[in-house]
Structure 1
Amino acid sequence: MPRPVYVKTEVAAERAVTDILIRKQPVVAIKCLGCNVGEKGGRITLVSVGCWDGHVYVFDVKKCPAIVYAGGLLRLLQAAQFLKVFHNCTPDCTTLMKQFGVRVNHFYDTQIAHAVIMERNGLPARRLSLRQICDSYKQSAPAVPPELERLVCEDVNVWARRPVTHAMLDLAAASVRPLVPGLFVNTDR
């Protein structure tokens, strides 16, 4: 698996977004990480974008907020020709709108798709974590290094810490890798 690309400048963001937009497969996975994402006052600090071929870009919008507008991340999030795959998109989309005024266009939520599949099979719909849905569809779930798992549990502001460590980048990448093509293909039937 290729190492995630850490994008922390406006110029690097422009290159990364262009690279993503010219790919053959117009489907990307998105995960927003930060402090209390989805809650009142929540802040996004990192945006992970996973591509169909396994490449992942992690945009540091805390270090350089200009990445969203001048860096082109907004263009990707609002591109109607690109499908954005989320797992539980509501917190991410709500915080993107409140923090940056960004309305995500053309998205797919694996959690909602799984709930629809359950209902069609006569089962009650229920929310599943990314790990649970990965297990349901026999996809590899994100592995969390024990020290980072402890840190995430103890400190709700872990994603606001700088510098961003390799373990943090790996976890940010792992939060989008199972979404495309794996979970998207399995739930989009």
Structure 2
Amino acid sequence: MANIQSLPYLAEDQSVFDSLRTQPHNIEAEQALLGAMLINNEAYHRVSDFLKAEHFFEPVHQRIYEACKLRIDRGQLADAKALFHLFDADEALADLDKGQYLARLARAAETIINAADYGRVIHDLALKRGIIELGEEAVNRAYDTGVPESASEQIEKVEQSLFNLAQQGETKGGFQKFFDVLASTVDMIQAAHRKSGKITGVPSG
């Protein structure tokens, strides 16, 4: 996935792709944040308490962010020139013009003022991808008759996984309302379970 330009190499007839859904992501926000970091490492400090490399959708951006993190955390400068060695050492980055992509990111960046906002967009979209992954896994396990877990046990696991994901929704810029997602999802699961004649949990009162 080293080529992160627009996708002119796709078939000219795009209608075949119209019905396909892609996972939530924002390449432009990722590029804007990385560019801001490359021209002023202070941008990294505005997002470092909540944003991790794995929150980036594009693997190339994950590598660049992690490389910046390692240098900045060591008190070293992380700019396009300092990171140029990445494109010699990593075969996955070799086709990106030997580091010219870093220079383009830096040139396109205008300010670090919006760095935290870009970081929160990237973080929020990563959590949404996490919700999708949890949902797909839950559905697949529910369809798999070979899974030894009962429906109640599967629901409990989904609840715990959603709770863990909700915990990741807390950022410096404010708590993302993943507990609302948790509550509504659990309500939906329990409603579906009641239709089968079973109720999970113990009623109080």
After TM superposition, is the score higher than 0.5? no
TM-score, normalised by the number of residues in structure 2: 0.23
Structure index of larger Rg:
2
Instruction: Flag the structure with higher helix content.
Output: 2
Instruction: Flag the structure with higher strand content.
Output: 1
TM-score, normalised by the number of residues in structure 1: 0.24
With CA pairs under 8 Å and 6+ residues apart, which has the higher RCO, 1 or 2? 1
